[in-house]
Structure 1
């Protein structure tokens, strides 16, 4: 594939700003996630306590989930991203300020996490929905691939940066840096807002209350998915990404301290492997972006992700764990990019915000259940928790297979029509 064609999107200033805004946001999220896990584990010395803390990061969005998609579809997405980025910066910085002033306790941590993740889980589906507005339909897979690259470059940098800074200077400075990244992201989102002409898809009628209109939109979105089985199956496949991400986040720190006898630096080093793997994934997805049977690669990636998870869990040397985490990151990156790109390809423009919001809400509910289970199993045996995490991927693999069957039928029909 011609490099000019691959990177042609970066000739568009609006996409460049979107990419760097995403990169800053993901860098901040990676730093925050790793740092608060370390703080929680050292305070409690329990795997399930990490699960409880991560549930707190999910709870705000599980509550707000039903209205997020409708809110996105009726709001200037770039402006909403600016607001969420600034709010997240302010709530994260509460933790180091409390530590510096000497009044930090677990309740301050919980309060900050709760508020910051309200902003984060509004920001994420908003950010994903912007893709549909800023690029044309022929470039969705490229756009999602570059978004995944931004995510993984951010996570790679976050792992190395957070691990090193925590090991040398402590968690206070690490979280201050995370807060600054969201201010940087807000600046890039503001640049999009200044040039992006927002055209609302629909208006809220004065005769209806906002709440009534929102729930009407949610009902319409769910009916849309029910009436489009292929999109429904691939949406359900996509819902595994967040629960799986949380599961490996819960288990990584205990794995680092127990299995490889590591410290904060080795934790960040291993964690950065996922970023490298997903960068390779982004490149792979760009290479196959012109192919039709993307669902085949998605199904293979799900199955291989399960196997790589088990192989990672039995490592005892941190360098080998790092190598295995690269492989694991490659396949989880494939699942994320390919499932989302299929959804972008087939979902009607009118329902993109509601579809992404529905996926986000479903993922959050599943993540709460998944987090409790994996946290409980992790206190019994880290190896057992990894095995269950791997086996659970069979469910989305089944949904993907069903979606693939329908997708192949459609491709066959389109080919026959074109041939005639």
Structure 2
């Protein structure tokens, strides 16, 4: 009886995990994202070792998201025209190849800064197609009823990778070198590909009128403009992701320059953030039956920005880890809430285009943000760089909330 009650409670809290197709997809992501975070940590530390420059690290991150900035809006109609599963198999295979190239160059000690720039650009092109395809594929796996639960669970597995990946990477970099992180990431994509081959979904493409690419892009943008519950969350996400959530630039620079930590200390700092994000995602998933809520949509970025502002003043490593835990909880609650809100308010025929704009504002604005974060860190120092980015976020939340309330009236 107790076991049955626990099972029923689990199914009520996490209904998406009772669906076989989603189980396969989620399990593959669980393995792969640990590898992805290991590579993120390894690449950031490799750039700092090669260049000792936060600005050049910012340039790497900018190039990684530049294709998303330039092409995301045009990818949406493309994603709407083709089966999502086949697109994801293609993109995941390409990501595996790029990880293998980076690993081999690093292992044989021939890696140069310009190699990393080119590989980051290649990664950006692949992710520009992969991100909206994966985001809009989830509803085909679980349906609208379990969509918010699935999105929150995707965030949970992403952040489980953020917890495990940086910690493992920090240990491996010190013991075996950076290349092993990249090799393990390449191997991890096998889990995703195996899961995708066993997923059984129809090659679903919504029927719609044939139009040229620019007309479809324009149609998608006008649709977003006319849907306030999509427009304002995306505007808020654009500003916060551009100026406040530049963790790949701000955190390693702050760990090294503000806290005087090595690779292990940086990895554990990111792990603290990952634990907070994981807890935030699980909390959101367990309460997903309530649907997206406005107080969470605006309260989470307010908390994120506030604690980023405070982080810059910290010199105590353990207190900084605690703050990163809160930042992680707030960040994932915010991004998952935006994702759920825009998908639940999107028509099926428009979802690929809406999610391509989501990808654009979430990742495509990061080149500007990465360069900004790297430049301001070099000008003001690591501590003031973090604080400044947090203060910008605080101002943005207040202004956009007022605009949103005015539009609702």
User: Residue deviations 1:195-219, cap 9 Å, x none?
Assistant: 11122113785xx7xxxx2222111
Deviation, 1:405, is 6.7
Relative distance call for 1:177 and 1:236 in structure 2 (3 A) is same
- 1:46 is matched with 53
Partner Cα separation in structure 1 for residue 107 and residue 56 of structure 2: 24
- 1:247 is matched with 246
Partner Cα separation in structure 2 for residue 305 and residue 179 of structure 1: 32
- 1:279 is matched with 278
Partner Cα separation in structure 1 for residue 291 and residue 169 of structure 2: 40
Of 261-270 and 64-73, deviating more is: 64-73
SS in 2 for 1:93: helix
The answer to whether residue 85 in structure 2 is matched with residue 85 in structure 1 is: no
SS in 2 for 1:127: helix
Contact 2:62 2:370 in 1 (8 A): yes
Relative distance call for 1:300 and 1:258 in structure 2 (3 A) is same
SS in 2 for 1:316: coil
Q: Which one of the candidate residues 166, 174, 178 is aligned to 2:181?
A: 174
Partner Cα separation in structure 2 for residue 89 and residue 293 of structure 1: 34
Q: Which one of the candidate residues 154, 157, 174 is aligned to 1:147?
A: 154
Contact 1:84 1:123 in 2 (8 A): yes
- 1:156 is matched with 163
Deviation, 1:179, is 1.1
The answer to whether residue 97 in structure 2 is matched with residue 97 in structure 1 is: no
- 1:66 is matched with 73
SS in 2 for 1:160: helix
Contact 1:62 1:361 in 2 (8 A): yes
Partner Cα separation in structure 2 for residue 276 and residue 171 of structure 1: 23
Contact 1:31 1:162 in 2 (8 A): yes
- 1:417 is matched with none
Of 69-78 and 312-321, deviating more is: 312-321
Relative distance call for 1:299 and 1:139 in structure 2 (3 A) is same
Partner Cα separation in structure 2 for residue 397 and residue 86 of structure 1: 42
- 1:22 is matched with 29
SS in 1 for 2:288: coil
Query: Where does structure 1 lack aligned partners over 5 or more consecutive residues?
Result: 410-420
> Please, what TM-score do these two structures have when normalized by structure 2?
0.91
Contact 1:241 1:335 in 2 (8 A): no
Contact 2:152 2:282 in 1 (8 A): yes
Deviation, 1:315, is 2.2
Q: Which one of the candidate residues 172, 188, 199 is aligned to 2:195?
A: 188
Contact 2:292 2:341 in 1 (8 A): no
What's the C-alpha RMSD, in Å, of the aligned pairs?
2.2
Query: Where does structure 2 lack aligned partners over 5 or more consecutive residues?
Result: 1-7
SS in 2 for 1:360: helix
Deviation, 1:131, is 1.6
Aligned length: 400
